[in-house]
Structure 1
Amino acid sequence: MIYLKTEEEIELIRQSSLLVGKTLAEVAPLVKPGITTLELDKIAEEFIRDNGGVPSFKNYNGFPNTLCASLNEAVVHGIPNNKPLKDGDIISLDCGVFMNGFHGDVAYTFEVGDVSDEIKNLLRTTKESLELGIAAAIAGNRIGDIGYAIQAHAESRGYGVVRELVGHGLGRELHEGPEVPNYGKRGSGMILKEGLVIAIEPMINLKSKGVRQDKDGWTIITSDNKPSAHFEHDVVVRKGKAEVLSTHEYIEEALNKQLK
């Protein structure tokens, strides 16, 4: 089902989404060589609960943790573990919060120590693809316009766009209709209406678009074992310009403070 949201509901989704951004900012300065994703997961869960929320992902269809922590060739749905992060890694941290009856869902891919220029370019392009997808999320456009904007930009740089995993509607449920693919044809799919809240989340691979599922039953890995990047925002469709309910600003402020 597809539910258009009232302004009151949109405000509650914004609060949940902002808490996800603050949670990722809480762990951001700790994403360094030597820390484990289980340590990050524990800090994230405590921060969410201390701020009046509940982790959306924990126990969702049996998922064991608060964060999806997807390392290097893992695209999404990585399970936090006790392996220390290494210099040159990248790690996508995807997090959800349930608060006041509504979910927020945000992802950010972090650099661990010194990362190669090749990987920095992948991250930059994935973020740009997200921004272009958001720019297409306006009333009167179609769902395919979002996917087209993301796909055209990523593929123009030679990257692979994952087909098997998509963005989604967001609200009282973590995953609502419609599906929001990161690929598509202009002018195809359902018409976007004002008040539709969606999570737009490009998953862009360094080379091949192909993926496979790991034996753990959760982690999705690139078929060629090359790195993948993932960024996500929660967005409400508006006339003329989409409104972003989530933010990466808290994360980037935390990372910039670390550099000073």
Structure 2
Amino acid sequence: MAGGSDVAEMLSCVKCGKPAHLQCPKCVDLKLPREGAAFCTQDCFKDSWSSHKSVHLKAKLSSVGDKNSDLASEGWLYCVKRGRGRDSKLPYFDWTGSLRPYPISIMRTVPAHIEKPDWAVDGIPKVEPNSDLQHRVEIKTPDQIERMRETCRIAREVLDAAARMIRPGVTTDEIDRVVHEATIAAGGYPSPLNYHFFPKSCCTSINEVICHGIPDARKLEDGDIVNVDVTVYYKGVHGDLNETYFVGNVDEASRHLVQCTYECLEKAISIVKPGVRFREIGEVINRHASMSGLSVVKSYCGHGIGELFHCAPNIPHYGRNKAVGVMKAGQTFTIEPMINAGVWRDVMWPDGWTAVTADGKRSAQFEHTLLVTETGVEVLTGRLPSSPDVFPWLNK
């Protein structure tokens, strides 16, 4: 209640009924009635806080409801049925944390001249599910590798454009618009768009969201962390990467989580070379996360990539995994550890895409697309000299 203001007219204290000269500053910000926000002393305010703060939450929810009604009239609706449906009402759900879904805008369009993957029109991948590359790790040809280098560089530039948007007050839908437009401007197609009916051009995963968050009307708030996951389809191949960003002033625990996740990816990349077993990647990541007091998500893994968005090999990020196979020069795949501040288990939101931590605590992720070379590894989606300076540990 520090910074409470004097009340012009005499009101009664909510706690004890005595004449009140102070008012809850949060109620002032929310423009709530003064009669229910007046207190005679700091002590009365502190004693009432556990019950009084519910007034703020109800006011926020009411405000959100009014705003969402306005959005619905403009075609913004909640995503349901794994992207196949829309609804004007917030689904009932036992939410694990404080985050809630907001309505999403209509699906963005892609110009006719852009080369598109086979799910672009009807949402159903045709080649990918039945390809033998789901069971065999492809060795890329020199032509495929060169096309992947080009595509991955575009994907990096698109993600960097999104990173420059990150600040309090910006909606994740606005981030999606930048990703969509930058991808098209480069001649590419945003791979997630309509992939198994995913409704947006990138994934934006905030706070307790582990992955596959859907860009919507929610504004980023000071103290949030947000992961932006970009994949570009260009010249017949895909390039995939993501990073987790700070929004304004972020608490120390979240900074520790994000930096550790970055380090997990870097340590995993450092062992990539011909002859290394795929299962070793999870051991390296799990060791560093565990030593940092964090946990590793087990439900989602890295994957092979190229002319297919997802294919063999699967790359688990946790220890004692059963991944089969050995790295060979010419293979391309992603490593994308998802690290949680609490338990590793996840829960799916009613939209059928958004995976969140089971305990509501925060999660972070970083991802690169990699090429195994004769002597080691090439990070195809590596940071560029023009990439924004957003990670303080890189300057040390």
The two structures have a TM-score, normalised by structure 2, of 0.63
Q: What is the rounded CA distance, in whole Å, between the counterparts of 1:45 and 1:252 in structure 2? A: 18
The two structures have a TM-score, normalised by structure 1, of 0.94
Q: 8 Å contact 1:233–1:247 — kept in the other structure?
A: yes
Q: What is the rounded CA distance, in whole Å, between the counterparts of 1:171 and 1:30 in structure 2? A: 28
SS at match of 2:373: coil
Report the AA paired with residue 140 of structure 2: K
Alpha-carbon distance, 1:68 to partner: 0.3
In structure 2, the partner of 1:231 is 366
Alpha-carbon distance, 1:187 to partner: 9.9
Map 1:115-154; keep pairs closer than 5 Å.
115-154=250-289
Q: 8 Å contact 2:226–2:246 — kept in the other structure?
A: yes
Q: 8 Å contact 1:22–1:250 — kept in the other structure?
A: no
Q: Which of 294, 314, 317 is matched with 1:182 structurally?
A: 317
Q: What is the rounded CA distance, in whole Å, between the counterparts of 1:208 and 1:54 in structure 2? A: 36
Q: What is the rounded CA distance, in whole Å, between the counterparts of 2:365 and 2:148 in structure 1? A: 21
Describe the superposition over 1:22-79 as per-residue Cα deviations: whole angstroms up to 9, x where unpaired.
Answer: 1111121221000000011011101100111010000001000011000100000000
Q: What is the rounded CA distance, in whole Å, between the counterparts of 1:135 and 1:209 in structure 2? A: 24
| Higher RCO, Cα 8 Å, sep 6+ | 1
In structure 1, the partner of 2:240 is 105
Q: What is the rounded CA distance, in whole Å, between the counterparts of 2:153 and 2:298 in structure 1? A: 28
In structure 1, the partner of 2:230 is 95
- Return the index of the structure with the highest Cα Rg: 2
Map 1:1-260; keep pairs closer than 5 Å.
1=133, 2-185=137-320, 189-249=324-384, 252-253=387-388, 255=390
Q: What is the rounded CA distance, in whole Å, between the counterparts of 1:113 and 1:146 in structure 2? A: 32
SS at match of 2:388: helix
Alpha-carbon distance, 1:149 to partner: 0.9
Q: What is the rounded CA distance, in whole Å, between the counterparts of 1:177 and 1:16 in structure 2? A: 20
Describe the superposition over 1:106-160 as per-residue Cα deviations: whole angstroms up to 9, x where unpaired.
Answer: 1010100011111111111111110111112211010011111111111111111
For these two proteins, the number of residue pairs brought into alignment is 256
Identity of aligned residues (%): 37
Report the AA paired with residue 102 of structure 1: V
Are residues 64 and 187 of structure 1, via their aligned partners in 2, closer, same or farther at CA, if it must alter by over 3 Å? closer
Q: What is the rounded CA distance, in whole Å, between the counterparts of 1:123 and 1:222 in structure 2? A: 15
Alpha-carbon distance, 1:7 to partner: 2.2
Q: What is the rounded CA distance, in whole Å, between the counterparts of 2:252 and 2:142 in structure 1? A: 42
SS at match of 2:164: helix
Q: 8 Å contact 1:72–1:89 — kept in the other structure?
A: yes
Runs of 5+ unmatched residues, structure 2: 1-132, 392-396
Q: 8 Å contact 1:145–1:187 — kept in the other structure?
A: no
Q: What is the rounded CA distance, in whole Å, between the counterparts of 1:207 and 1:186 in structure 2? A: 20
SS at match of 2:228: strand
Describe the superposition over 1:197-253 as per-residue Cα deviations: whole angstroms up to 9, x where unpaired.
Answer: 001101000111111111111000000100100100000112332111112346743
Backbone CA RMSD of aligned residues = 1.6
Are residues 227 and 250 of structure 1, via their aligned partners in 2, closer, same or farther at CA, if it must alter by over 3 Å? farther
Q: Which moved more, 1:123-132 or 1:233-242?
A: 233-242
Alpha-carbon distance, 1:176 to partner: 1.1
Q: Which runs of 4+ in 1 moved over 6 A?
A: none
Q: What is the rounded CA distance, in whole Å, between the counterparts of 2:263 and 2:386 in structure 1? A: 17
Describe the superposition over 1:155-187 as per-residue Cα deviations: whole angstroms up to 9, x where unpaired.
Answer: 111111000000000000110111001023499
